Amino acid sequence: MPKSTQRLCRRIARAACALALVLPLAACDALTPGSTAAVPGPRSVPSSTAVPEGDVTLRVQFADAPLMVDALIAAFEKGHPGISVEPQYKTFSDYVQNLKLTMTSDSAPDIAQYAVGMTDLAQDGHILDLAPYREAYGWDESIPPVSLDQLTAGRKSEATGGRALFGVPAGLSMTGIYYNKELAEQAGIKGPPRTLAEFEEQLAAAKDADLTPLGVGALTEGGLHLWAALLNQLMPTDDYWDWVNGTKGATIENQAGITASELVVEWSRKDYYHESANGTGQIDSTAQFAKGDSVFLINGNWAAGQLATTMGDNVGFFPMPGENAGAPTVASGFSVAYAVSSRTEHPGAAGAFLDFLTSPEAGQIISDNGFLPPNPEAVAKPEGVLADIAEGHRRAIADDGITTFPDFAAPAMLDRLRSGVQKLIADRVEPADYLDSLQDEWEEHHAE
């Protein structure tokens, strides 16, 4: 060890003191972080559908359904020989974890999947307001306006004066329960449950048959999907929306939250989950389910394409049932939508790609991959598990029951939910304390 370390430490201490004196003085506006933040570019797209001549490469970054995106790109490139699209797939947690960095960097992709944090990015002008395209391309005709209104980030368009638009939906997602038909039969389970209580009986039956009842990929997002699916059945949908949207006074600390959390704990105590649920990612739990490791699996429709391919007719799907048979179908879901970076040099080409997503051809690809296309009438009737999902979608939409994901409530909510549900599954936290930690994060974010 160098002998000079000690002297050095003294020196550092002196320098630190000097710095401590200077800093408050220096904290004037010019030095305040953020004061020089450059406005990234235009805030809105042009209002024409013109696509410039010449070869263009669009980079698309996304987190859901790589097979679907690849197929969409291939179909789009066929129709637009001048434009090539380069897909950049990240897993959901990598994607969300890096989204802000990515979209505020100079190498932001031209097009990016809409996710948590996009609201903030929209507010700061990092993604383009697409409202002019909405009119120019006539998207109100090809997409139910409701789906577009999910994507306004709560803002008005500066360009058109109407509602802003920060993404174009390529399909609606939805979480629910997959089941292995052979294993279900083994356990004496006859068809999808009509009520939550009946579902619990089926889980118990699977347990009695010495099978793993429910696959949960709680290492990543699987746990929060389960918790949210239960919450959706127990909490009035309007209250839930208020909470996710940050409406003043909303809270998750209520009886529904407690009951949903208690169910997660109870099912764990009854060994309904795979033993290592907390150590298993969503992707892994899906692969294990496909191999026949569990009777049920909590996941979203984004896994449907893969499961239909590997399991064929042996897999079915149902949305989490409500407390009684007549209850509306409520499930977490969100438009898998794509936003355009304000740093793109090719807003015209990006517009063409987004417009392609609203076409019947794209709708067919979207439907084949288990997503509900923006315009379901225009596609062929799906089969097998895809039909189950389409039916679930139909019921949920009819009941106005597609709620968004709970992690949309605040940027740090995903981590709180993930670690919180892990604790519930491990029986390491009181449901009330878990909800309290969520509400703390909510209040911190929605304080202003």
Partner 1 sequence: MTGAMTTATRSERWSGYGLLTIMAIAVVIPFLSVFLASVQPAGTPVVGLTWPERWSWDNYQQAWSVAGFSDLIRHSLIIAVGVVPACLVLAALAGYALGTMRLPGGNAVAAFFIAGLTIPVELIVVPLYFDLRGLGLTNSYLGVILVEIALFMPFSVFWMRTHFQSTPQSLVEAARIDGASSATILLRVLLPLARPSLMTLGLLVFMWSWNQFLLVLVLIQDTTRHTAPAGLGFFVGQNTTDIPTLAAGTIIVMLPILILFVVFQRSFIAGLLQGAMKG
Partner 2 sequence: MPSRPPVRPPGTRGRGAWRGYVYVLPAFLVYVAFAVLPALHTAYLSLFEWDGVTLGEWVGLGNYQEILQDSVLRRSVFNALVLVVFFSFVPIALGLAMTGLLARYRRPGMGAYRFLFMLPQVIPLVAVGVTWRWLYGDDGLVNQAFRTVGLDGVTRAWLGDFDAALVAVGLVGTWVLSGLCMMLFLSGVQKVDPSLYEAARLDGAGPVREFVSVTLPHLRGELAVAMTVTTVAALASFDIVYVTTNGGPGEQTTVPGLLVYRLAFSEGKVGLAAALAVVLGCLILAIVYLINRLSRTET
Binding mask 197-236 for partner 2 (x = CB under 8 A): ---------------------xx-----------------
- Tokens 């969520």 locate to 438
Residue 447 found at the interface with partner 2 (CB under 8 A): no
Contacts 24+ apart (CB under 8 A), 180-186: 180/289, 180/292, 180/294, 180/295, 180/296, 180/311, 180/314, 180/315, 181/313, 181/314, 181/315, 181/316, 182/292, 182/314, 183/211, 183/292, 183/294, 183/295, 184/295, 186/211
Distance CA 346, CA 139 (A): 20
In the complex with partner 1, which residue's Cβ is closer, 88 or 259?
88
| Nearest of 19, 20, 86 to residue 55 by alpha carbon | 86
CB of 365 to partner 2, least distance (A): 31
Please tell me whether residue 241 binds partner 1 under the rule CB under 8 A: no
List the end-to-end C-alpha distance of the chain, in Å, as a whole number: 51
Number of residues that bind partner 1 (CB under 8 A): 32
* Dist. CA 75–CA 364, nearest whole Å: 11
Provide, rounded to whole angstroms, the least separation between the CB of residue 338 and partner 2.
20
Which of the listed partners (partner 1, partner 2, none) does 50 bind, with a CB threshold of 5 to 8 Å by partner kind? none
CA distance 254 to 438: 12
Query: Applying CB under 8 A, what is the total number of residues that bind partner 2?
Result: 47
Separation of alpha carbons 176 and 181, rounded Å: 16
- 7, 11, 17, 27: residue in contact with partner 2 (rule CB under 8 A): 27
**Is residue 176 within 8 Å of 330, Cβ to Cβ?**
no
Q: Is 446 in the site for partner 2 (CB under 8 A)?
A: no
What SS3 state is found at 56? strand
Residue choice 11, 12, 18, 188 for contact with partner 2 (CB under 8 A): 12
Pick the stretch among 42-50, 106-114, 144-152, 177-185 that binds partner 1 (CB under 8 A). Answer: 106-114
**Residue 218 contact among partner 1, partner 2, none, beta carbon within 5 to 8 Å by kind:** partner 2
Is residue 276 part of the contact set for partner 2 (CB under 8 A)? yes
CB 380 to partner 1: min, Å: 30
Give the x-and-dash track for 62-91 against partner 1 (CB under 8 A). Answer: ------------------------x-xxxx
CA-CA distance, 100 to 194, in Å (whole number)?
Answer: 41
Using rule CB under 8 A, residue 195 touches partner 1: no
Among 7, 14, 394, 428, binds partner 1 (CB under 8 A): 7
Q: Which of residues 37-76 bind partner 2 (CB under 8 A)?
A: 37
Residues numbered 108 to 127 that lie near partner 1 (CB under 8 A) are 108
Give the bridge partners for 44, in sequence order.
Answer: 129
**Binds partner 2 by CB under 8 A, chosen from 49, 84, 88, 104:** 104
**Closer of 1 and 380 to partner 2 (Cβ):** 1
- Can you tell me the distance from the alpha carbon of 10 to that of 185, in angstroms, rounded to the nearest whole number? 75
Q: x/- site string to partner 2, residues 114 to 143, per CB under 8 A?
A: ---x--x---x-------------------
The nearer residue to partner 2, 263 or 424, going by C-beta atoms, is 424
For CA atoms 148, 151, 153, 158, give the dihedral sign.
Answer: negative
With contacts defined by CB under 8 A, name the span among 127-135, 238-246, 301-309, 422-430 that binds partner 2.
422-430
**C-alpha angle with apex 427: 421 to 428, nearest 5 degrees?**
85
Q: Which is nearer to partner 2, 196 or 425 (CB)?
A: 425
- Check residue 101 for interaction with partner 2 (CB under 8 A): yes
Q: Are 272 and 209 in contact (CB under 8 A)?
A: no
Distance from C-alpha of 62 to C-alpha of 446, rounded to nearest angstrom: 27
Binding status of residue 383 toward partner 1 by CB under 8 A: no
Q: Does 35 bind partner 1 (CB under 8 A)?
A: no
**CA nearest neighbour of 418 among 214, 227, 178:** 227
* Tokens 């002019």 belong to residue: 132
Its sign, for the CA torsion 409, 415, 416, 422, is positive
Residue 199's closest CA among 208, 210, 190? 190
For position 291 contacting partner 1 by CB under 8 A, the verdict is yes
Q: Which does 422 bind (CB under 5 to 8 A by kind): partner 1, partner 2, none?
A: partner 2
Q: Which residues of this protein are in contact with partner 2, per CB under 8 A? A: 1-3, 5-6, 9, 12, 19, 23, 26-27, 31-35, 37, 93, 96-101, 104, 117, 120, 124, 218-219, 275-280, 411-412, 415, 418-420, 422-423, 426, 428-429
